Structures are given as structure tokens and as C-alpha cells.
Amino acid sequence: MEALEELLQQAEVAHGHLCAGQILGVRMATMACRMLGIEDPRGADRKRLVCFVEIDRCATDAIGLVTGCRLGRRALKFRDWGKMAATFVDLKLDRALRVVAVESSRELAKARYASVEPAAAQQKLAYRELTDDELFAAQWVRVTLPPEEMPGFRGGRQQCTACGEGINFGRFESRMAADGTPMLLCRSCAHPELRYWEPLA
């Protein structure tokens, strides 16, 4: 795997700027790969890794860059939990490591670079230097991935009874219409209150 500074340069180009979140994401992913024994996540080991990210912030782009995990390859899984955390799953050895950025790292950055303002600048400097133990808490965990969650899975495709749109990977709900007719509904039709969009017509 490339050196930290090289990965940070790549992250900056891919993301559009280098911030504390990018540095945390690069550091988190490199630490996890090292602990899992994955030396070439974007090359020879690219089919070994699945990553669950728990935040939609800058760190997620950096994690994807380091690991090569992508949503489109079904190797990057997003859980909207608002946590600076990710779980790295080694499919080959069936083991997983969850890594969380510890809150105390912000105070360490402030103490180390008290004369630097603003706090984001303190963090950018400190997060390059702090040890993994000062930045992260890591825990070995079990992640069970059913076949339909695996990269490369090709499942059946259904059509939503209500809207007619196609649904992949079993992401539908079975319901009964008022007249007793079975229906297969996509999640946006089954739960319109959860839609992120509203039809205008």
C-alpha cells in the first residue's frame, strides 16, 4: 500500500480538498487493512474486502479511495448512523474489524496545536501525527453477509405493482390489496412517508 502522504494526495484530488475528515478516513482505512493483513486492497486483494461506512461525510470518500470499495461494485455499504466509523470485512478469512474515531482526538489536536486557528486546522495537523490508538478505537466483530449482499450477486428482478418500477435484490415487500390480490411493492410505495422525494404530478 502507498505511503500516507501519497494516499492523502490521491484523496485530495478525488475529493476536491484535503480536510480533517479525509485524513481520518485514510488513516482509518490503512489501519484496518494493516490489521486485516490486506496489503493491496485496490489490486490483488480487491475482491477480499467489503466496507460498511456509518457517515456520509468526507471520510467515506477517503475510505473508498484507500480500499477500492465502491457502491457500484456492492463492496461499499452505507449505514446512515452519523458516526465516524466503518467496519472492514475480510471475505477471504471471514473476519471483520470495526473502527471508530474517538472523540478525545479533537482535544488532543487542540492541546498539540493550541496556537493554530481554527479547530479544523488543528485537526488537519494533528491527525497526520497522532498514533492509531490516539485516533481510533478498534474492535473485532462478526458481520454476516447473506448472498444477496455480496459483491457480484445477480438476483432476480421484480416489478412494483404500484409504480411499475423495477426492483433488484429482493428489496420489495409483499402485501395484499383490499380485494385480496397479492402485491409486490418497492420500498417507496410501501412506505411513502419515508420517501426522500415527492411527486409533483
More confident residue, 64 or 199: 64
Helix pair angle (119-129, 20-36), 10° resolution: 20
pLDDT digits (tens, 9 = 90+) for 56-103: 999 999 999 999 999 988 899 999 999 999 999 999 999 999 999 999
For range 180-197, the mean pLDDT:
90
d(CA 178, CA 171): 22
The residues, ordered by sequence, that sit 6+ positions from 180 with a Cβ below 8 Å of its Cβ are none
Cell numbers linked to 9 = 494526495
CB 92 within 8 A of CB 37: no
Question: Cell 496545536 maps to which residue?
Answer: 113
Q: What is the pLDDT of residues 3-60, one digit of tens each?
A: 888 998 999 898 888 999 999 999 999 999 999 999 999 999 989 999 999 999 999 9
- Residues 22 and 58: beta-carbon distance below 8 Å: yes
Above 80 in pLDDT, residue 157?
Answer: yes
pLDDT at 117: 87
